[in-house]
Amino acid sequence: MNLHAITPRLRHSLSVLTLSLLVGAAHAEAPRQNALSFSASATEEVTQDLLVVTLQATREGNQAADVQTALKQVMESALTEARKATQGQPGIEVRTGSFSVQPSYTNAGRISGWQGSAQLVLEGTDTTRISQTAGKLTQLNVVNMQYGLSRGLRERHEAALTNEAIQRFRSRASTMASAFGFKGYTLGEVSVSSTEPGFEPRPYMMAARAKTMEAADAALPVEPGKGRLSVSVNGQVYLTP
């Protein structure tokens, strides 16, 4: 565009338009008044329903291939037995865990043999069946047991707690608006988050069990823990006259 060809009247109109846009932008970027930031939360004590039991087999030998073969055999046997006990049953899952074969060394730094370990994991909400199945797998040792929250239980509790926390946030906003002498409020930026600070893993160590009929039929002693699941609403409101 040739600026010299613009008429004085058009140039004046463009200046007014530019000024109007600048003023509008300044108003849009100006901070809103009577902003109030606060938080509200809802908490509930929940019993853990998810049990995870880790069992492990260990083998040693002069050759890595022999150790690996021995581990594969014991794991195949354990998997077959575990699947028989859990097949078609909801609330329990069987899966393999870590599998490793590593060399052991002499003081001179030479390989003196090989040692390996393989893990089997039982997980689910059917804690009774899991403990019974773990007790039957006498060819493996229990090396860890811990409780947690299943996804379904967490989602159900979080949905209710989220609604409760939001209602508390709104109620508190109305109360504070009235206390400050305002009629109401409008929502600003708000975030919702959940935490479970009361839950901690419960490690469970077990020595090698005697392979007797009593041990084969004995279920693991298990007891779920409790913790506090919390949902927080953090945000800002603008008080309105």
SS3 state of residue 122: strand
**Range(s) of the domain holding residue 98:** 50-148
Select the more confidently predicted residue: 192 or 27. 192
Among 88, 113, 148, residue at a domain's last position = 148
Domain contains 17: no
- Radius of gyration of the chain measured on its C-alpha atoms: 32
The per-residue pLDDT for 225 is: 77
Domain contains 117: yes
What average pLDDT score do residues 162-175 get? 96
Specify whether 41 is located in the same domain as 158. Answer: yes
What average pLDDT score do residues 187-193 get? 94
Report the number of distinct structural domains present in the chain: 2
The per-residue pLDDT for 227 is: 78
Specify whether 75 is located in the same domain as 43. Answer: no
The per-residue pLDDT for 226 is: 80
Specify whether 78 is located in the same domain as 114. Answer: yes
| Residue 11: pLDDT over 80 | no
Dump pLDDT digits (tens) for 130-143. Answer: 999 999 999 999 99
Q: Band the pLDDT of 87: cuts 50, 70, 90.
A: confident
Specify whether 133 is located in the same domain as 87. Answer: yes
Q: Band the pLDDT of 157: cuts 50, 70, 90.
A: very high
3-state SS track over 153-198? HHHHHHHHHHHHHHHHHHHHHHHHHHHCCCCEEEEEEEEEEEECCC
Computed over every residue of the chain, the mean pLDDT equals 82
> Is the Cβ–Cβ distance between 241 and 182 less than 8 Å?
yes
Specify whether 236 is located in the same domain as 174. Answer: yes
CA–CA dist 120, 115 (Å, integer): 17
The per-residue pLDDT for 209 is: 42
Specify whether 156 is located in the same domain as 118. Answer: no
Specify whether 128 is located in the same domain as 87. Answer: yes
Domain contains 213: no
Domain contains 160: yes
CA–CA dist 34, 56 (Å, integer): 62
| Residue 18: pLDDT over 90 | no
The per-residue pLDDT for 204 is: 44
| Residue 213: pLDDT over 60 | no
Give the predicted TM-score (pTM) of the model: 0.66
Select the more confidently predicted residue: 219 or 238. 238
Percent of the chain with pLDDT over 90: 56
Specify whether 44 is located in the same domain as 154. Answer: yes
